[in-house]
A and B are shown apart, each in its own frame.
Chain A
Amino acid sequence: MTGRPALDYSPHSETDVRELLGAVGADSIEELFAEVPAAVRFAGALRLPAGLSEAELMAELTRLAAADCPATGLVSFLGAGVYDHYVPAIVDAVVSRGEYLTAYTPYQPERSQGVLQSIFEYQSAVCELTGMEVSNASMYDAGTALAEASFLAGGQTRRGRIVVSEGVHPEYRQVLTTESAGYGPRPATVTLAAGASTDLGLLQDALGDDVAAVVLQQPNVFGALEDMAGAARLAHEAGALFVAVVDPLSLGLLTPPGDYGADIVVGEGQALGSPMSFGGPGLGFMAVTTKLMRRLPGRLVGETVDAEGRRGFVLTLQTREQHIRRERATSNICSNHALNALAAVVYLSWLGKEGFPALAELCARRAAYLRERLLELPGVEAYTTGPVFREFAVRLPLPAARLVDALVPRGFLAGVPMGRFGGAFGAVAAEVPSAGSAGESGNPAPAGGAAGGDPPAASDAAAALDDVLLLAVTERRTGEQIDAFVDAVAEVLTAGEGPPGDSPAATGGGPAAEGVDHA
């Protein structure tokens, strides 16, 4: 390599490489890798540009970053698991303190009393929020927490199947399916009824004495409210556990899962003080009943007293974990998302017992207002029909992705086009009369029922969901923004499918459609 910059941030200089090769007796990198069969080796040279100085690199990264279209720079109605809530300054002020800057539970835990106390308080907050008895120190995100819930249920019941409502976020279900390959109960799905809530009749049909757990999400991925108490009862009658996937902020308004008999509660805690950050890192939370405490994966901080009777904190019940239980451990998670968990507990403390329900109510009211306004527009129909919290789906007279594209240049992120998840749904979408799709529309009979693999109606469903848009309304959306958004939607709908000039690709400076995806 020639022309190396003066300020060198490359880990291995040519001198380093020569020295290392010399130590192992190889003349070149090629010789070092000669053992690797040619068929699986990359041939030719990597097409990398020449090295840059730090200043040049910063300029290049700034240029690239300017091409991004962060959701925070637009009026965003994106949701589907990641929400645009205001993160108060106190959250950053606390989580930026050097003493707390760790992604993990500490390795010499009892020396880090401050971090342990913050985790203990996080756990206490999760228990209070969910109405459950024991919370762990947090997990990666809702999807991995759901997979752990499935393993826990399988271990507890010694049963081999887990029945999951299609109202559970398709990405969480995908993680569950991936993690369940070769270990844990096999996932099966139950389709949704019209109006987007889980069909409890179909759920009951799917149950049997091989079912370890039933999983429903509240509110579900379409924003619909589920009959959690009814589903929990069916699960328990079949000898299965009930797993509730919940939106933590909704618990400011809705019944806590502990009250309707949930055995395991998991969910995504990003909304509690973590930024959207293009989708991560998230915060998986997980809480269980005392009965299941010994099977709870992950770290657990307990309160105790030291030899002199002073209050202190320890990592407790570690015999559950793989460093003690070795190959018989039921989970390999030996850490948590400590920084996001800290953000969550600071956020919750900042809101307090009055602020938290008030915030939830504000979201619900604004979501209801937007839905009402949108449904006044010609051709817009309710997809989620019942009451909603901060998110709902509507059916549009045009493909949802097209509306989203047309609104970006106007400064709006209109929401998540549900067609992107089309393959993850069975008969539900096909049941709802749809202007845009032929096929199954108008047929009230659910085609799939409970199915383990791809539902038979999946392709119809995918097509039928193309016109469905999921919108989330947080407290950051003002009445003026909502009104302006509805006006902009109306303009696009009136203009048919939008004049060609409206497409972001044609606006030149505007962000490309891919760039706004799920930001």
Chain B
Amino acid sequence: MAAESYPQDLKYYKEHDWVRLEGDEAVFGITWFAQDALGEIVYADLPDVGDTVTAGAPYGELESVKAVSDVFAPLSGEITDVNAVLEDEPQLVNEDCYGEGWILRVRLSDQVELEGLMDAEAYQQFLTEA
């Protein structure tokens, strides 16, 4: 497992998701804190390309050896890509949560929602308060 980190170029959501903005699209994943809390992830139940996600609503489930947790969408939009590798190698979420462990790519439908996200410093502050 990688060392704890919260890259500066990402935005963060209170349900412990990260967002990488790329034009009118965004890539979603879960933070180092989230994957560490879940433990060894053994299964990812993810939506399909073409489905829509809504900010604040669950879009899938990550299953670790002890629990099943919802994964929440930080922003709304239509799914343009799903990390299919996670079907066979869900542990990538543990090993490389900001890289190969990415989960969804979404075409955003509401740019205003970006205002609700935190930067790396704010998220780390949020973690110390939580």
| Chain A residues with a Cβ under 8 A of chain B | 294, 319, 324-325, 328
Contact = CB atoms under 8 A, between A and B. Distances in A.
Nearest to B43: A294
Interface in B45-61: 45
Given A294-B45, A319-B63, 10 more contacts: A294-B43, A319-B43, A319-B67, A319-B68, A324-B66, A324-B67, A324-B68, A325-B68, A328-B68, A328-B70
Contacts of B63: 319
Interface in B22-52: 43, 45
12 contacts: A294-B43, A294-B45, A319-B43, A319-B63, A319-B67, A319-B68, A324-B66, A324-B67, A324-B68, A325-B68, A328-B68, A328-B70
B65 to A, nearest CB: 8
Contacts of B43: 294, 319
A319 B68 CA distance: 6
A328 B63 CA distance: 13
Contacts of B68: 319, 324-325, 328
A26 to B, nearest CB: 45
A324 B61 CA distance: 13
Interface in B93-107: none
Interface of B: 43, 45, 63, 66-68, 70
Identify which of A294, A319, A328 gathers the most chain B CB atoms within 10 Å of its CB.
A319
B86 to A, nearest CB: 13
A328 B66 CA distance: 15
Contacts of B66: 324
Nearest to B65: A319
Identify which of B63, B67, B68, B70 gathers the most chain A CB atoms within 10 Å of its CB.
B68
A134 B67 CA distance: 22
A325 B68 CA distance: 6
A324 B45 CA distance: 16
B2 to A, nearest CB: 24
A158 B45 CA distance: 14
Contacts of B45: 294
Contacts of A294: 43, 45
A294 B43 CA distance: 9
Nearest to B70: A328
A390 to B, nearest CB: 41
A324 B68 CA distance: 7
Nearest to A293: B43
A499 B67 CA distance: 69
B83 to A, nearest CB: 17
Contacts of A325: 68
A319 B67 CA distance: 6
Contacts of A328: 68, 70
Nearest to B61: A328
Contacts of B70: 328
A24 to B, nearest CB: 41
A352 B45 CA distance: 39
B52 to A, nearest CB: 13
A331 to B, nearest CB: 14
A324 B43 CA distance: 15
A325 B67 CA distance: 7
A325 B43 CA distance: 14
Closest 9 CB pairs of A and B: A319-B68, A319-B63, A325-B68, A294-B43, A324-B68, A324-B67, A294-B45, A328-B68, A319-B67
A171 B116 CA distance: 54
A295 to B, nearest CB: 9
A292 to B, nearest CB: 12
Contacts of A324: 66-68
Contacts of A319: 43, 63, 67-68
A289 to B, nearest CB: 15
A341 to B, nearest CB: 26
A294 B46 CA distance: 12
B49 to A, nearest CB: 15
A320 to B, nearest CB: 8
A328 B67 CA distance: 12
A171 to B, nearest CB: 34
B69 to A, nearest CB: 10
A325 B66 CA distance: 10
Nearest to B48: A158
Nearest to B51: A158
A325 B62 CA distance: 11
A3 B32 CA distance: 74
A319 B39 CA distance: 14
B47 to A, nearest CB: 9
A319 B43 CA distance: 10
Nearest to A328: B68
A410 B96 CA distance: 77
B41 to A, nearest CB: 11
A425 B47 CA distance: 39
A275 B66 CA distance: 40
A209 to B, nearest CB: 14
A327 to B, nearest CB: 11
Nearest to A321: B68
A325 B63 CA distance: 10
A492 to B, nearest CB: 60
A319 B45 CA distance: 12
Nearest to B42: A319
A326 to B, nearest CB: 9
A328 B68 CA distance: 9
A328 B43 CA distance: 16
B15 to A, nearest CB: 16
A228 B7 CA distance: 55
A47 B66 CA distance: 54
A328 B45 CA distance: 13
A328 B62 CA distance: 13
A294 B68 CA distance: 12
A392 B120 CA distance: 72
